[in-house]
Amino acid sequence: MGFIGFFLRAIVLLLMLKTNVWADSHSLSDSDKLFKEATDLVKAKQYNEAISIFEKLANASEHDAQYNLAILLKAGKGKTRKYTDALYWAFLAKLGEIPEADDLVGDLIDLLPEKTVETVRQEVRNYLEDSVEKGSEASVIHLGRFFLDIVSEKEYASAYKWFTIGSALGIKTAIKVRDEVEKELSPEEIVEEQEKAEVFFQKFVE
């Protein structure tokens, strides 16, 4: 299967989800229009233009665009092939719960030295922490998932802190995961991370 065929298979579900808004409003949002424009450009093999749009959407935390950008960077279409950048965006797409990102992350990790993978992980962590400092509630949950799904070995204590904060913010998805992660911790760890969460939560809401 050629690159176009692979790419279209990879994004078909994402594009279907994007275009579901037609059912209610018969119109697309600006980001949806850009996403469709970029996929059309890929079909036309105009990769430079497509990757520029995907980059814009990816930097605006559009997770499907992050995934597609990672695919293009892995393939070296529209930009020179760069596995580290592809992995960075694939990690963020995975945190954004794009199911196809799991396999892409695995493929890219196999292509890179572990030291390099760890550097990319740290870059993702820095990005998320900076986003939280700027008030992003979504990044609170992504940080929790980072310590479960992105690190080389699960860090339950750190994840517990962020899901505890997310629960306090009223993010429904955080509550279930917080309670599941708590089962993996000692009583001492629970007390310590709850205190850390309380301090950060107060700063965050202020």
The full set of domain ranges for the chain reads: 1-112, 138-206
Task: Give CA–CA dist 162/139, Å, rounded.
Answer: 9
The tens digit of pLDDT for each residue in 24-72 reads 444 568 889 999 999 999 999 999 999 999 999 999 999 999 999 999 9
Which tokens go with 205? Answer: 């809401």
pLDDT given for residue 52 in this prediction = 96
Say how far residue 195 (Cα) sits from the centre of its chain.
27
| Homologous superfamily in CATH for domain 1-112 | Tetratricopeptide repeat domain (1.25.40.10)
The tens digit of pLDDT for each residue in 129-180 reads 999 999 999 999 999 999 999 999 999 999 999 999 999 999 989 999 999 9
Mean pLDDT over each residue of the chain, to the nearest integer = 89
- Residue 2's pLDDT band (boundaries 50, 70, 90)? low
Which tokens go with 199? Answer: 């301090």
Task: Give CA–CA dist 164/140, Å, rounded.
Answer: 10
pLDDT given for residue 185 in this prediction = 98
**What is the reported pTM?**
0.86
CB 77 within 8 A of CB 38: no
The tens digit of pLDDT for each residue in 22-34 reads 344 445 688 899 9
Which tokens go with 10? Answer: 């990879």
